[in-house]
Amino acid sequence: MEENCIFCKIARGDIPSATLYEDEDLRVILDLGPASKGHALVIPKKHAANLFELPDETAQKAIVVAKRVAAKLKEGLHADGLNLVQNNGAAAGQTVDHFHIHLIPRYEGDTVNVGWTPGELNDADKEEILELFR
Ligand code: 5GP
Ligand code: ZN
């Protein structure tokens, strides 16, 4: 538990939330500022600031829970699609420094914006990146 971390308090139940699912490791809640109807957040109970601090075991559990809740939201709300979004760092849009996965149901013609303008993969970048993994 990090002091002054809002998601630690929510995940532990110290602050009430609209909870869709809870187990010993995770809580799934409705986002207070939803991008769309059904926008939910998968939040580990143990504090990790971001993906890079998240233990593998928690990551595994979180994606399975995300999958299950996503399926139920999509079916129950008759969504046409669903985005998983997970921001790390202010540059990537992270505003709460406690790891979370967004589940964002999508509806044909909605105005949700999680896109980007495609660039072009150039040879120098490709080589640099491939070299990192050799
Ligand atoms: P981030 O920008 O860090 O990826 O996402 C943070 C999300 O948390 C935002 O979508 C925001 O609406 C949501 N949020 C922030 N504070 C609260 C809160 O107190 N309760 C709930 N349910 N959601 C919150
Ligand atoms: Zn926290």
* Residue 10 alpha carbon to ligand 2 centre in Å: 9
**pLDDT for res 99:** 98
Q: Does the pLDDT at position 105 exceed 90?
A: yes
Q: What percent of the chain lies above the pLDDT cut of 90?
A: 98
> Does the beta carbon of 93 sit less than 6 angstroms from any atom of ligand 1?
yes
Average pLDDT over residues 55-73: 98
- Ligand 1, atom 18, lies closest to the CA of 32
Average pLDDT along the chain: 97
Average pLDDT over residues 51-65: 98
* Residue 117 alpha carbon to ligand 1 centre in Å: 25
User: Confidence band (pLDDT; 50, 70, 90) for 74?
Assistant: very high
**pLDDT for res 3:** 84
DSSP labels for 9-67? HHHHTSS---EEEE-SSEEEEE-SS-SSTT-EEEEESS--SSGGGS-HHHHHHHHHHHH
Render pLDDT for 41-55 as a digit per residue (tens, 0 to 9).
999 999 999 999 999
> Does the beta carbon of 55 sit less than 6 angstroms from any atom of ligand 1?
no
Would you state the structure tokens that stand for residue 91, as one six-digit string? Answer: 């540059």
Q: How far apart are CA 41 and CA 49, in angstroms?
A: 15
Out of 15, 28, 32, give the residue to mutate to test ligand 1, the one with the largest number of ligand atoms within 8 Å of its CB. 32
**pLDDT for res 1:** 72
